Amino acid sequence: MTSVLEKISGICDMYSGNELMMEKINQSVDTLISNIHLEFKRQKERIDKQTRDKRERLERTNDILERFDTSFGNEYLYSYCSRSERFILYDGVNYIAGNEDSLLENIFGMASNDDEFRGSKYKIKTMMIKKIKDISPLQITPSCATIDDIINSLYPVYFPSLDDARLFLISLGTCLQENNTMQYIFIYKTSIKTLLKMIENEHFVSFGDASRLSSFKIRFKDYSYNNTILIKSNECDTLPCYQSCNLMNLLCVAAHLSRIFPLDEFIQDPVYKHCSEYAIYLRHKTPDIILDEFIDNNITNCKGMHMSDTVMGFVWNKFNQKLSIPDVIGKAKMIEMLQERLDYNHDKKKFVNITSIYAPSMYYFTKFLAANITETENKTENEYTTAEIIFLFRKWFNKRLDYNITGELVMNVFREQYPDAIKNDDTIVCNLSSWDKNEIISQLYHSTIGDGIINVKIDDIYDKYLGNLDNEFPIITKKYFEYYSNNLIKRK
């Protein structure tokens, strides 16, 4: 810029005294300035035109790409698993894994069949691959057919109800969400351990996150009761192996259900009350409340009976199994807390003056009753003392088991299970197949009196009974013998 001004200034100085030359210099400068303005204007017009043309071409290209994207999306639903580098095609029923070649075949196939797209197919290819790689299969909404297939694959094989299967899927989907801030712990049973392992492996292979399902636990370990969800599944330990081809479908259905039906809303919905009551069983519980329920429903006061720590642990397991809940207290802590509630002999390490329907003695005694009590239709019922019933119970087990059975325990069991059979504090009215006293008396009575003979004394019949005793059974008391014999005489 300086040299130009110097040149003009030098020429002007040189011809400053020559009017003709100075006029020519002014004319030349005016012409030059005019040409410069004209050239600048032309250059600007060219640049503006190039910019407009470029923008129009870009708009046309973007329009083509956008319309292709819409057309392709209407025909194919593709997504991408970054860890496995698999392109996933959803066909409306299944999420099918494939490679880039199969995707390109579909892209070029559609682009080549349309003149509008044909010229931009490589740009289309680049754009589509980039876009698809940003889409996770978990973002693709499954159809009702896919959802139904997955739920039907879980119920009734793995879960006892449709709602339990839905809760499992929603819980699973909650863990899969990228923005999941919930601190829930999901406690599941061993029956679905293999299923969860397969799901976890599929998620790791496809998406590369090994900790996404870490909130699913098989054991309870000092977690917050309020944030613990119990997953109910069938108890069978031999559930069939889940079909691996359904695993990606399952993950996508779980993610979708958790989006449209958040876990908290599902739990609070009264429609699913039966399912959610079990799921949040621990939410309003404390160890003290649970132990109080355990005592109320499983422990019975019974003088002379006792339960060792081992037996109490057995009954505790039965309590948890009946409710289908995990051990959320622990046996050692449970024993320690029960010692503050029940009479306990620290020297012998046993609880005293109590029993339980689940204690071995009670369990086998109730089993004995179930196997021996018979129907009494058109037949006079026997009367048994508690001592006689205890004798029959021990004989039924062939004296192999030394159970601490008392008369009070016998009466407690009958009060709970057969209250109508109780005559008084020591007498039970029923029929036991292992010893029918009435039948024994009836046979002796009829074999002794013979046809038409009615003057035989009951004392003589009883003496005959004593002379032919079967030492394997208790002795029928004379009082009962006379009582039933008199009934036979009255009927005759």
The whole-number pLDDT of residue 451 equals: 47
Residue 124 lies inside a defined structural domain of this protein: yes
Residue 121 lies inside a defined structural domain of this protein: yes
Residue 205 lies inside a defined structural domain of this protein: yes
Based on the domain organization, do 271 and 313 belong to the same domain? Answer: no
The whole-number pLDDT of residue 377 equals: 66
Based on the domain organization, do 304 and 382 belong to the same domain? Answer: no
pLDDT in tens, 385-400: 999 999 889 888 775 5
Picking from 358, 384, 412, the residue at the C-terminal end of a domain is 358
Spatial contact of 153 and 242, defined as CB atoms under 8 Å apart: yes
The whole-number pLDDT of residue 242 equals: 77
Q: Which helix (H) or strand (E) is 159 found in, with range?
A: none
Contacts of residue 82, Cβ cutoff 8 Å, sequence gap at least 6: 133, 207, 208
Contacts of residue 387, Cβ cutoff 8 Å, sequence gap at least 6: 407, 474
Residues of the domain holding 462: 370-491
Spatial contact of 129 and 78, defined as CB atoms under 8 Å apart: no
How many structural domains are present in the chain?
A: 5
Based on the domain organization, do 202 and 99 belong to the same domain? Answer: no
Based on the domain organization, do 161 and 212 belong to the same domain? Answer: yes
User: Which of 312, 382, 381 lies closest to 345 in space, CA to CA?
Assistant: 312
Spatial contact of 238 and 124, defined as CB atoms under 8 Å apart: no
E strand map for 53-150 = 77-81, 86-90, 95-98
Spatial contact of 353 and 305, defined as CB atoms under 8 Å apart: yes
pLDDT in tens, 40-97: 889 988 888 888 888 877 787 788 788 888 889 899 999 999 899 999 999 999 999 9
Residue 98 lies inside a defined structural domain of this protein: yes
- Rounded to whole angstroms, the Cα distance separating 130 from 123 reads 11
Look at the block and give the residue holding tokens 């009017």. Answer: 19
Residue 364 lies inside a defined structural domain of this protein: no
Based on the domain organization, do 89 and 154 belong to the same domain? Answer: no
Based on the domain organization, do 382 and 415 belong to the same domain? Answer: yes
- Rounded to whole angstroms, the Cα distance separating 317 from 298 reads 11
Based on the domain organization, do 166 and 89 belong to the same domain? Answer: no
Based on the domain organization, do 274 and 184 belong to the same domain? Answer: yes
Residue 219 lies inside a defined structural domain of this protein: yes
Residue 365 lies inside a defined structural domain of this protein: no
Radius of gyration of the chain (CA): 46
The whole-number pLDDT of residue 378 equals: 60
Based on the domain organization, do 275 and 167 belong to the same domain? Answer: yes
Q: Taking the CB of residue 369, how many other CB atoms lie within 10 A of it?
A: 21
Spatial contact of 230 and 281, defined as CB atoms under 8 Å apart: yes
Spatial contact of 215 and 168, defined as CB atoms under 8 Å apart: no
- Per-residue pLDDT averaged across 180-191, rounded? 86
Residue 363 lies inside a defined structural domain of this protein: no
Picking from 358, 388, 421, the residue at the C-terminal end of a domain is 358
Q: In Å, what is the CA distance from 4 to each residue of 12, 37, 429?
A: 12, 17, 134
Based on the domain organization, do 132 and 164 belong to the same domain? Answer: no
Q: Taking the CB of residue 267, how many other CB atoms lie within 10 A of it?
A: 19
Picking from 104, 137, 170, the residue at the C-terminal end of a domain is 137
